[in-house]
Amino acid sequence: MGKENPAAEKASNLLRSRLCDPNFVVKHLSDSPDSNYSSVTEACNNSILLLGPRGSGKIAVLELILTDLLLEYPDTISVIKLNGLLHSDDCCAFKEIARQLCMEHQLLFSKMASFDDNSQFMIEMLRECGLAHKTIIFVLDEFDLFAQGKQRLLYSLLDAMQSVTSQAVVIGVSCRLDADQLLEKRVRSRFSHRKLLFLPPSKEDMQRLLEHILSLPVDSSLPHAYAVEFNKKIKNILADGRFKEIVNTLVNLDSTVNHLLRFLFLAVSYMDLESGFLSFENFKTALSNSHRQPKLECIKDCSILELYILVCMKRLEVKEQNSYNFNSVMKEYKSIHDSFQTSDYYSRNVCLRAFEHLLQRELICFTDNRGYSQSVEFRPVKLLISSIELHQGLKSYCSCPVILLKLVER
């Protein structure tokens, strides 16, 4: 479509890959927690929790530090990574630890090893590594999921760290700020209560980050003049007051770095590949796309009969009927038709099908859970949208019958 600008394509690819790679972002922003360094160099046992809302870059920072450490002390560190989504079951977790240890030290891993074998193995490895002055770093992602159930894994890990011969660091990462409250008493007593909170970046940091991400490198394979021109345009956009407003709106909604990155990705995908430059309009379109209201969109998708059913249900709620089902909605529908002589009066089967469409769209739902012994017409239902949303939806619906608006407003 149109002539292709290979430089623009390369630039857009570069930007997109940067935006999808959290390490690039974090390198710029990082403030390294020195605690990790100290535990390695001084060979003491330590545990720490990294907490922060989802998308604030905790794992990315951790990866960064681990790669640095591995470069600095290549032989004395081994890293074991566990994820709460995958390994919250204790058997699974020990098997995974054993597997990773075996991979690290080129030992044979047997899939048939039992839970006891695996845990014995881990304790012995810890002792051996401690005697050899090697540190094992355990990274537990989604830490709150490990704290469900009996917490056997956490207890054995933290317990093994209490002995003098082992050198281990346990780093827990979680998006629940109260993750340490979930620990059992005996586990919590062995935990060192160090927490690192990941706060959202400040405005100046945000500005610098934006510039860092969006500026093309001048001395790379891209044509020099193009890159310089691109960077100049970016600087102009970033300095614009309207752009600062957009960023403020974004940050007010969700101040994590990930949210910003998704927004930037949308903007870069709108980049005009013919001219090869980002413009302010790209950012505006990206903002409107990332702030959607799904329920309003749902209402706009409904047909007029479905809107009638929604309005009937709303009226039943206003009349304070505690529970109502399809038959009562039909009664209300008939009464509306009788009093206002609308042209939209359809038979019961048609209305039942429209009712089922609404159930599929999840604008209404059944209130009973067991309900398979009753047919659809008798099960109690309720609305899943508020009256404000319904009102707004009707107002923005093109060619909405006037009668519906009148009925909702009363």
Partner 1 sequence: MAREKEESMQVSRRATRSSTFSANNNGIELGKPNDSYIPTLGDLVFGQEPISLDDLLSRFPGRRVQILELLRLLGTLNSSMPPLFVYGSASTGKTSIIIQVFRHLSRPFVYTSCLSCYSPRILFESILNQLLLHKKNAFNGYSSAKRCEKPSDFVIFVREALINVIDSLKENAEKTSTSKLKGQVNGKMIYLIFDNFELVREWDKSSSILPFLFGLSDILKMPEVGMIFISSTSPDTYHSNTGYVAPIHVYFPECTEDDLRQIFMRNQANQKLYSSFLDIVLRPFCRITKRVDELSTAFSLLFKRYCEPLSDLGVLPNGEMKRRLFSHLQPHIAPSLNEIFRVASQPCLECGVNQETRRKGGARKSVGSGDLDDIGFHMSTSAKYLLVSAFLASRNPATLDASLFDTTGVSDSRKRKRKASEKSLEQKEAAEQELLMKGPGTFSLERLLAIFQCITSVGEEEEGNDGLRVDEGSNALMSDILLQLTSLCNSNFIVKGGSCPLEGSTRYRSTLSEDLAIKVARSIKFPLSKYLYRR
Cα gap 291→289, rounded to integer Å: 5
SS3 for 410? coil
Binds partner 1 (CB under 8 A): choice among 192, 328, 383, 391: 328
- The residue within the footprint of partner 1, chosen from 9, 72, 128, 274 (CB under 8 A), is 9
Binding test (CB under 8 A) with partner 1, winner from 150, 185, 292, 410: 292
Question: How far is the C-alpha of 192 from the C-alpha of 154, rounded, in Å?
Answer: 13
Backbone angles phi, psi at 324, to 5 degrees: -140, 155
How many chain residues touch partner 1 (CB under 8 A)? Answer: 67
Minimum Å distance from CB 225 to partner 1? Answer: 22
Residue 211 lies near partner 1 (rule: CB under 8 A)? no
Closer CB to partner 1, 85 or 164, in the complex: 85
Euclidean distance between CA atoms 81 and 141, whole angstroms: 8
Q: How far is CA 326 from CA 202, 295, 317, 376, in A?
A: 53, 22, 13, 8
**Applying CB under 8 A, does 54 fall inside the site for partner 1?**
yes
Q: Give yes or no for residue 350 binding partner 1 (CB under 8 A).
A: yes
Q: Does 12 bind partner 1 (CB under 8 A)?
A: yes
10 Å Cβ neighbour count for 38? Answer: 12
How near is the Cβ of 329 to partner 1 at its closest, in Å?
10
Q: Which is nearer to partner 1, 164 or 199 (CB)?
A: 199
Task: Pick the binder of partner 1 from 85, 108, 164, 225 (CB under 8 A).
Answer: 85
Q: How far apart are CA 39 and CA 21, in angstroms?
A: 28
Q: Which window, 30-38, 149-157, 243-251, 259-267, contacts partner 1 (CB under 8 A)?
A: 259-267
Q: Where are the beta strands (DSSP E) in 262-330?
A: none
What's the closest the beta carbon of residue 398 comes to partner 1, in angstroms? Answer: 9
How is 329-394 classified by DSSP, letter by letter?
Answer: HHHHHHHHHHHH--S----HHHHHHHHHHHHHHTSEEES-SS-TTS-TTTS-EEESS-HHHHHHHH
Residue 55 found at the interface with partner 1 (CB under 8 A): yes
For 150, which DSSP code? Answer: T
In the complex, the residues that contact partner 1 under the rule CB under 8 A are: 1, 9, 12-13, 16-17, 19-21, 54-55, 59, 83, 85-88, 92, 96, 144-145, 175-176, 258-259, 262, 265-266, 269-270, 273, 289-290, 292, 294-295, 297-298, 300-301, 303-305, 323-325, 327-328, 331, 344, 346-347, 349-350, 353-354, 357, 360-362, 372-375, 377-378, 380
